[in-house]
Structure 1
Amino acid sequence: MTVKAYGAHAGDQPLVSMDITRRAPGAHDVQISIAFCGVCHSDLHTVRSEWAGTQYPCVPGHEIVGRVTAVGAHVSRHKVGDLVGVGCIVDSCQHCDDCDDGLENYCTSMVGTYNGPTADQPGWTMGGYSEQIVVHERYVLHISHPEHQLAAVAPLLCAGITTYSPLRHWHAGPGKKVGVVGIGGLGHMGIKLAHAMGAHVVAFTTSASKREVAKALGADDVVVSRNAEEMAAHARSFDFILNTVAAPHDLDAFLVLLKRDGTMTLVGAPATPHPSPQVFNLIMQRRTLAGSMIGGIPETQEMLDFCARHNIVADIELIRADEINAAYERMLKGDVKYRFVIDNASLAA
């Protein structure tokens, strides 16, 4: 079937309205009418081929929420009318150790929601800046938030799981001091989630004007990272630091804030590398510098259920599809609190 979408024909061209083709639902497929789609920094990187390998036309979007409109004959997990979400993964091998462990995000055959290989036309996946999508039921998530929160749920499918997974893996919770570097699309979710998990949360920002904003999100304390005295006051005190910044910066300034055996995990993905950290800042206190990428399907469902129980959603600005190019430019300037979300009904306008 042919549906309306917004995408780019080349890395140096703006996103425009276009028609794309979706497959008819197969036996294990779920067809979804997309209500809203969040706008992730990865969308911009991919559309502009900043990570290389982008196939065009490129229709991005992997923070998808909507309603099931059809299911295949063998679908058992979802039914017509369900509120559902689709995140960053739409396929994987389904038989490797990673898939067996529910960590499809680390499967070497994982297929992304856009710009991934597929038998569907045109040969690569097309994402959520579109009216509909068809996805194997394994990769479709249940949403239990009330429908009026649906737009603000969309960013949980990437920003939510990207921060939830490392917080859970490194045991954020009561008695733990957790730092969150950056108060953007990822960082604001990290603060909310770490607070809900019961950790003592310290937010790091380059701007003193964001102190009250960070506290309103759930931070117990706020440190201006450009203030040497404020940084020094927290030396060797953190169990875990979640670094969400998607631009190259000095990692050593934060590594020295970790306790012995503390971990800093990077989830931001800059287009150019960070400066290499000083090895002595790691080995002298047995510190760990780690990375984490989204989460598997079971953990993503766990995150959605956790957020529903704790009434956690993203702070968003709703936009029309034809505002996406301006939104990208604003996103580059940090001019959004904290996630743009497309109203997909505007695709038909």
Structure 2
Amino acid sequence: MEFLWVLYGVLLISAIVLVPRMLRGRGVRAVAAVDPARYGFVPREEIDIRLPGPDEELTQALTVTQRTQDWRAVAALLKGTPAEGELRWQRVQTLAGAAAVELAQSPGTGGAWLRTWRVEDAKDAGGAAVHAAFLVQRARREPAGSPDVRMILEEARTVADEAALLAPGDPVPYIVALAADGDFAAAWEKITARAPHHMGAHLTALARLPEDAARDFAERAASSAPEGSLLPALPLFEVFAHLPDVILVRSFYESEVVSRAIGGALYATEHASPSDSVLPVVRHLLAAFLLRAERFTEAVEQFRAVDGYAGAAPWAYDADPAASYTAHRAQALAGLEWDSVRGRAR
């Protein structure tokens, strides 16, 4: 279920040590080397591995903060980001992840802007939320079995409680508390009172549940989702989280369970608002499943919709997410051409 923690942050945030089973799956037959430029796709060296999709305001603010180590640019961005919707949650995770990566790269000094932010404006709700999420991500980066994990997560819950007091209507602190192994029922009650159909909250909850409970949870959420919600895609994330270690059946990705999950995700992408910030996250995973199901035309459509970005599962597991993304994109294009050749041969 670790892949869900990749979604909780943005790509480089978690310690990624295993390539997920989907990325170890069989490829498709290629009729020839495919030139992505011929299809209007972005070359590998231009792929942005930080985000699942575009957020220019966030990119600009974070660039300024990382260059100057002045927290005010990202603080201003969060102040202007409404609690409603998914965007605030995603931005909090991205900022927390950026600080976590900086700290990992420069132990003791990296991410200083976040520490300064908390010292200089301790009552800033955005700073508290980012700090709590940062602690969760730090805990997820710890080696398995580390005694520090429990202590870090306890601190994360404390800081999340502070953030909740500073912004009572914001669901994000409660989502962070849920991710920090806080009391599930209590956190979920607070979340649903504020944002009952929050996709990020549901993804976080999914990571806390055992397989059978996660499946039931995902199906209930999908079936009760309002029009325009991305929750009908939740079963696809549950399937991915619990892929078998070894897939012996060639037609696994065409099975009823997987096909139904793909169908729900397709429905969600077709009816969601184009501005929904979680839509690219769904499209990335959907592209991977469509590719494995050898539904190449549909896979290429999803790749086209997110092209230029690789900051999402499943590519985020790879040591080189851009290479993983572009390799799978090339497989989809090769499959599309192979289908075309077979069609002409009939």
**TM-score range for the pair, normalised by the shorter chain length:** under 0.3
Q: Which structure shows the bigger proportion of residues in strand conformation?
A: 1
Q: Which structure shows the bigger proportion of residues in helix conformation?
A: 2
Give TM-score, length-normalised by structure 2.
Answer: 0.28
